Amino acid sequence: MTAITTSGLTKRFRGGQLAVDHIDLEVPHGSVYGFLGPNGSGKTTTIRMLLGLAFPTSGSATLLDVPMPGGATRVLHRVGSLVEGPAFYPFLAGRDNLARYDAADATADPATSRARIDEALDRVGLLAAAKKRYRNYSLGMKQRLAIAAGLLRPRELIILDEPTNGLDPQGTREVRALIRQIAADGTTVFVSSHLLAEVEQICTHVGVMRTGRLVFSGSLPELRRTGAARVTVQTAEPEAAAKVLAGLGLADVQAAVASADAHAEASAALGDASPEQVCAELVQAGIGVRGFAVTSPSLEDLFVGLTGEGFDVSA
């Protein structure tokens, strides 16, 4: 059983812009799936299609094995969601806003409504502010109320679109803790973000979007493996060391002489070679090894490599 699948899911806006371009998602049941990509890469449009708010131009999607958008009323009560920021009536108290959404749910039991609302408010730490008008909530409280709305009933899947947008570091940490808690209960969490650092600590799987296309999808270790490890040797004889590395058949060999802020070193892509063997060969060749390191690119580097740098978002 998969929590979310899409097949060739595509959305072309009326202006002709291709917002989502044939994406094939597969979110395993029980995973915490980080849906990454810069702003404007099609994450929110994808989520809107998953929830039946927008209709795909082509392709298909399922939530908990129910086809969307056709099965919206059959499946969405098993799915909690936060889409593009919280939205409530500003003139109603937090509790009354939740009561309103609960009343709209055809399958919710009115007898337990109050208890469920209190429990959801308690989980996000808003029970004390339940009677306060939404208008007077801080940004973090608004965000947490939206998460509480997603927790009004036991859910099998929670979809959170940029849940930490606009939050201060403390609020971000609170939301992250909340997501961990939800995941620990066995709920599948699908969380979108434009910041890798935000989801790296909590996700088991990631999908990376770039200009409407899914450029990577898999587990975090799988993402790490896509980065090529390099071996770096600090030595007084970088040219000689580079020769040894080349002799071992390593690719992309570089030698750098000492500068004001770096030691002289030689480096190469490690490939399939074993670091132990490389080290032994260097010593055997009589190279004075001061330092030896195998480095993998950080997830951040891999992420930026996949999504492009800065303003490199094509319209």
Partner 1 sequence: MSALRFYGSELRLVVLRRRNLLLLAVTAVFPLIIGIALRLAAPHPQGGNGAGVAFFNQLAGNGVFLTFIALSTLLVLILPVVVAVVAGDSIAGEAGYGTLRYLLAVPAGRTRLLAVKYGVIVTFGLCATFIVSAVALIAGAALFPVGPVTLLSGATISLPAGLLRLLFVTLYVAAAMAALGAIGLAISTLTEHAIGAIAAVVIFVVTSEVVDNVPQLAAVGPYLPTHWWLSFDSLLRVPVDTSTLLRGLLSFAVYALLFGSFAWARFTSADVTS
| Number of alpha helices (DSSP H) and beta strands (DSSP E) in the chain | 11, 15
Number of Cβ within 10 Å of residue 25's Cβ equals 21
H helices within 151-231, ranges in order? Answer: 169-184, 196-200, 220-225
Distance of closest approach, residue 301 Cβ to partner 1, in angstroms: 35
Closest CB to partner 1 among 96 and 281? 96
Closest CB to partner 1 among 73 and 295? 73
Q: Are 27 and 206 in contact (CB under 8 A)?
A: no
Look at residues 288, 252, 279 and name the one whose alpha carbon lies nearest to residue 267.
Answer: 252
Span from 49-57, 181-189, 191-199, 202-210 in contact with partner 1 (CB under 8 A): 49-57
Number of Cβ within 10 Å of residue 47's Cβ equals 23
Look at residues 20, 15, 71 and name the one whose alpha carbon lies nearest to residue 46.
Answer: 20
Token pair, residue 136, equals 């007077």
Question: What x-and-dash track marks residues 116-145 binding partner 1 by CB under 8 A?
Answer: ------------------------------
Instruction: Say whether residue 51 binds partner 1 (CB under 8 A).
Output: yes
Beta pairing, strands 26-28 & 79-82: unpaired
Using CB under 8 A as the binding criterion, the count of chain residues that bind partner 1 stands at 32
Instruction: Say whether residue 101 binds partner 1 (CB under 8 A).
Output: yes
Residue selected from 58, 87, 283, 298 as contacting partner 1 according to rule CB under 8 A: 87
Distance of closest approach, residue 86 Cβ to partner 1, in angstroms: 8
Q: Distance (Å, rounded) from C-alpha 221 to C-alpha 218?
A: 8
Residue selected from 7, 65, 91, 298 as contacting partner 1 according to rule CB under 8 A: 91
Task: Please say whether the dihedral angle defined by the alpha carbons of residues 269, 273, 279 and 284, taken in this order, is positive or negative.
Answer: negative
Span from 44-52, 241-249, 281-289, 295-303 in contact with partner 1 (CB under 8 A): 44-52
Instruction: Say whether residue 186 binds partner 1 (CB under 8 A).
Output: no
Helix 169-184 vs helix 139-150: crossing angle, to nearest 10: 10
Instruction: Say whether residue 216 binds partner 1 (CB under 8 A).
Output: no
Q: Distance (Å, rounded) from C-alpha 143 to C-alpha 167?
A: 8
Closest CB to partner 1 among 161 and 174? 161
Residue selected from 22, 29, 77, 133 as contacting partner 1 according to rule CB under 8 A: 77
Residue selected from 25, 36, 99, 175 as contacting partner 1 according to rule CB under 8 A: 99
Residue with tokens 């939740």: 98
Distance of closest approach, residue 75 Cβ to partner 1, in angstroms: 8
Instruction: Say whether residue 67 binds partner 1 (CB under 8 A).
Output: no
Torsion (CA) 281, 286, 288, 293 in degrees, nearest 10 = 0
Instruction: Say whether residue 206 binds partner 1 (CB under 8 A).
Output: no
Distance of closest approach, residue 111 Cβ to partner 1, in angstroms: 11
Amino acid identity at 216 = F
Binding site for partner 1 (CB under 8 A): 48, 51-55, 72-73, 76-77, 79, 81, 83-85, 87-92, 99-101, 103-108, 110, 149
